[in-house]
Amino acid sequence: MHATSTVHAPDGAAPTSVPPISDSKTFSRAFADIKTGFAAKELWGHLGWQDIKQRYRRSVIGPFWITISQGIIALGLGLLYSQLFALPTATFLPYISTGFIIWGFISGCLSEGMETFIANEGLIKQLPAPLSVYALRTVWRQTLMLAHNLIVYVIVVAIFFTSLDQPYAMSGDCVGQVLCHPGIGWYSLSAIPGILMLALNAGWVTLLLGIISTRYRDIPQVINSLIQLLFYMTPIVWPIDQLMAGGARDSISGALPFVYANPLFHFIQIVRAPLIGQAVSINSWFVVLGITVVGWGLALVAMRNYRSRVSYWV
């Protein structure tokens, strides 16, 4: 509640009242929305799980269709591109499978994050819940799908473990190779903070793009087109080792700066690299941390200025 102050006028004049100052556009209200949203974990957790169940309602194996479809795509493209790039299946299939799994989470958060508030129009108009609840619902749903897809990773690594638990190169053993990866070990547990960073960034992406896309309905079409372009520009189906090998490939190594300038590469790398026994450059972590800070700053500004308008825009 806001008190209305009274200004004492000169003798003979009636006192005037100063209208209360609204705090609807303050960072404290934006922080409170996010804090209250996290506290309502039972609500967004239930809604996210119901989204998965509803999508595969009356299906015999239910959400595991997510795992099967992901496995089929990874297997087919892995076998195809391993032949095109003349790389051993034992090292390339885990690479492309893990890349697809992480890309599925990132692209899902981008595409569905833009529709977060639009898709929840009915709830926003009827349920007095923080806006962050709907963003967390989207992130939680994508996290559940990521967990299902990680089953593919476990199966692939179990099959090719003998090729990944020792130093290896993407082209085979390390003999005569410029790049040699250490192999899977305790270091692979560093993928856990990488996944947490993905989820943390998915939060601000969903909030920021959700607000912008609710106001400007053409934005989702533009970003969906960019997602397709970024898929081919990011090392997912093609190995970055081929650009870094040097030698006969010096002519294409000039593309490396463009790869490093792609922020999605760093987000994928902090998770994929340790999962398949490759080292992560500290630069990738610096890029991810920097984007996290800037992204949440922009999301808080958007929440401060436009949080109260979303219900009118949907």
**Mean pLDDT in residue range 23-32:** 80
Residue 136: per-residue pLDDT: 94
Chain centroid offset of residue 274 CA: 18
List Cα–Cα distances, 217 to 71, 113, 135, 305, in angstroms: 34, 13, 18, 19
Q: Quick: pLDDT tens for 261-291.
A: 899 999 999 999 999 999 898 999 999 999 9
Residue positions counted in the chain: 314
Among residues 142, 137, 134, the alpha carbon closest in space to that of 314 is found at 134
Residue 108 or residue 170, greater confidence = 108
Q: Are 267 and 198 in contact (CB under 8 A)?
A: yes
Whether the predicted pLDDT of 1 surpasses 60: no
Whether the predicted pLDDT of 2 surpasses 70: no
Question: Strand pairing of 5-7 and 16-18?
Answer: antiparallel
Q: Quick: pLDDT tens for 166-205.
A: 888 877 667 656 678 888 888 889 999 999 999 999 999 9
Whether the predicted pLDDT of 15 surpasses 80: no
Q: Are 170 and 81 in contact (CB under 8 A)?
A: no
Whether the predicted pLDDT of 106 surpasses 80: yes
Residue 211: per-residue pLDDT: 94
Q: Quick: pLDDT tens for 119-156.
A: 888 888 888 888 999 999 999 999 999 998 999 999 99
Question: What residues have CB less than 8 Å from 264, skipping those under 6 apart?
Answer: 106, 230, 234
CA–CA separation, 242 and 92 (whole Å):
12
